[in-house]
Amino acid sequence: MDTTLQDPLVGQVLDGRYRIDARVAAGGMATVYRALDTRLDRVLALKVMHPALAGDGSFVDRFIREAKSVARLDHPNVVQVFDQGTDGSYVYLAMEYIAGCTLRDVLRERGALQPRAALDILEPVLAALGAAHRAGFVHRDMKPENVLIGDDGRVKVADFGLVRSVDTVTSTTGSVLGTVSYLAPEQIERGTTDPRVDVYACGVVLYEMLTGGKPHSGDSPAQVLYRHIHEDVPPPSALVPGLPFELDELVASATARNPDVRPHDAVALLGQVREARRALTEEQLDALPPQALTAEHDNAEDRTSVIPRALTVPRPLPVGEDAAADGVHRTTRLQSPPVPGRRRPARPRRATVAVLAAVLLALGVGAGVWYINSGQFTKVPPLLTKTEAQARERLRSAGLDVGEVKRSYNDTVDRGTVVSTDPAPGTRIRDHDSVALTVSLGPETVKVPDLRGRSLAGARARLKSAGLEPGMVTREFSEDVARGSVIATAPRAGTERHAGSAIALTVSKGSPIDVPDVTGDDLDSAKQELTDAGLKVRVAPQRIDSEYDKGAVAAQSPRDGGQAAEGDTVTLTLSKGPEMIEVPDVVGDSVDDAHDALEGAGFEVDEDRGLLGLFGDTVKKQSVEGGDKAPKGSTITITIR
């Protein structure tokens, strides 16, 4: 059973054009579906804003801005947007569909990557961002989730929903949009965004690809934000010994806390990446990373969030509490959470609780949301992509019970992780109410049926009934399988494959027949000989000049010595007869000149010297007189005296 059938949009047609076939991914602001454009008959991705947000003008503006921005970026490494529109309460973008996975999926499965693989992914990402920067846009939300890797190996940048023009006013006073682990210091402190914030995020992504983990971690998102401002990104070689210093320098350049020290845009960083690659040996590029010993990935810090500016604006300290030796009093940009072994000024417990509550509320993490004067309610925590054990623990921590646990096949969610909850994440429910979970069984698999001996039509029907798709058909000769029947499948019968996989078929052409040579024969004789051999005959409409008589077979396909199957067609091309051309007059010429003239005209030459011409060098006679015509390729005899 496909869990996407539980989604009310699956099976619907939006805007009279886009048929929604399956849900691919769900986020906090939109859901992405695989859909069919019934007008152009092409598969695409449909990004549909959650109806609850469609009434918020700022979110709708983001959707429209994403469509307009990407429409201006005609770049092979940018996911293209084809259309934008609304249908009732649904606001959607029609986008290019990329069959594959995200960089986050790769990192989650493999941990650290080889340097060559990391650079192979980073270069097209920077090329895409460079095109955006040169077009006047800043992405503002670069992270592994927004790097798509197609099944064909193409790398594309997605989700320009937070894109902003370079020349827009960039100082914000209300909140900062972005993802905690990839925010540049100036974004956190001042809300400033220019191309260098994308450069910083790409530096963090490169660090993550080289080491398998993020450079800054913490017990809370607030602590991560604090470290972005106050701590340099460590060199990757500190975690993965043996990484060349060129990669350390690349990460340090991209993630410099002072934006003036960073490359000014993605194009400049791309130049540095290519210089670093040229400096590395093949052995350094292909060095295998150690097995990643990273903690289980929790994507709470990987979500695009609205971060209250109250948590990121400068907060002056009382005089004397943080004075440097030079007498200048520093200003901390973000209150740091407690660090073991470090004392900090006492503060009222009420203020501490208020700050933590604001962080949890803004970033969508933690056990729930507190309601003033209503302590009996909470919200369903975000559980999608969590393991069943993690989901159960989070529900217990939130004061909720685990209800019915259903299991279903799913092509996009890993086995053992949560596909959906009932009620949905964020829903307000009473304490100790139960939440039902749907857990993925992974992709549904089916066995390839034994199709040997079936007709092609029968084999295709059998594959479809088994939940598979007929794939490419190749034909081969077979002595023991009848013509038109299946010889084998690829993969072979009994192999397990995901439902919907394409299965290649090899179909018999029957026993091979040696094609007889009928060139030079008259047409009736040629037809009879080929028909007796079990072959069909087709006569080509055009005729060609040849050495054979007019109307005889001048050429055949397949040629003599080739093989065909019973019932195959042999094409015959008939002769127009030999081409008649004028013979040059060579009487009186030297023997060499006569050869040159006759052979140049297309004739063969034979010499008749006799006893009197053994030592002669002059042509006294020719078998066909000059000016007369003879068949091209025929032999002209010259008499020499």
C-beta neighbour count of 161 within 10 angstroms: 25
Q: Which residues pair with 639 in a beta bridge?
A: 608, 621
- Of residues 554, 555, 518, the one with CA closest to residue 533: 518
Is residue 406 packed enough to be buried (19+ CB in 10 Å), middle (13-18) or exposed (0-12)?
A: middle
Q: What is the maximum alpha-carbon separation in the chain?
A: 134
Single out the residue of 127, 124, 136, 132 nearest to residue 73, CA to CA. 132
Using CB atoms within 10 Å of the CB of residue 606, give its burial: 0 to 12 exposed, 13 to 18 middle, 19+ buried.
Answer: exposed
Cα–Cα distance between 129 and 197 in angstroms, integer?
11
Determine the residue type at 370: W
- At 539, give phi and psi (nearest 5°): -100, 120
Q: What is the dihedral of CA 99, 105, 106, 108, to 10 degrees?
A: -170
Cα–Cα distance measured from residue 262 to residue 35, given in angstroms and rounded to the nearest whole number: 41
- Cα–Cα distance measured from residue 364 to residue 612, given in angstroms and rounded to the nearest whole number: 113
* Contact by Cβ (8 Å): 75, 131: yes
CA distance 417 to 421: 11
What is the per-residue burial (b if ≥16 Cβ within 10 Å, else e) of 137-150? bbbbbbbbbbbbbe
CA–CA dist 545, 561 (Å, integer): 23
Dump strand ranges (E) for 448-585.
469-476, 486-490, 496-498, 502-508, 512-514, 536-539, 553-557, 563-565, 569-574, 580-582
DSSP state letter for 288: P
Cα gap 637→613, rounded to integer Å = 14
What's the CA gap between 173 and 435, in Å, rounded? Answer: 38
The residue type found at 423 is P
| DSSP annotation of 552 | B
**32-57 CB burial, b ≥16 within 10 A, e <16:** bbbbbbeeeeeebbbbbbbeebbeee
- Residue 557 · residue 571 · CB < 8 Å: yes
Give the angle 372-375-376 at the CA atoms, nearest 5°: 140
Locate the DSSP E strands across 151-262: 155-157, 164-165, 175-179
CB contact at 8 A, 165 and 137:
yes
Active site residue 21: no
Which of 610, 609, 632 lies closest to 619, judged by CA? 609
**Exactly one of 61, 141, 322, 560 is catalytic; which is it?**
141
- Which residues are designated catalytic? 141
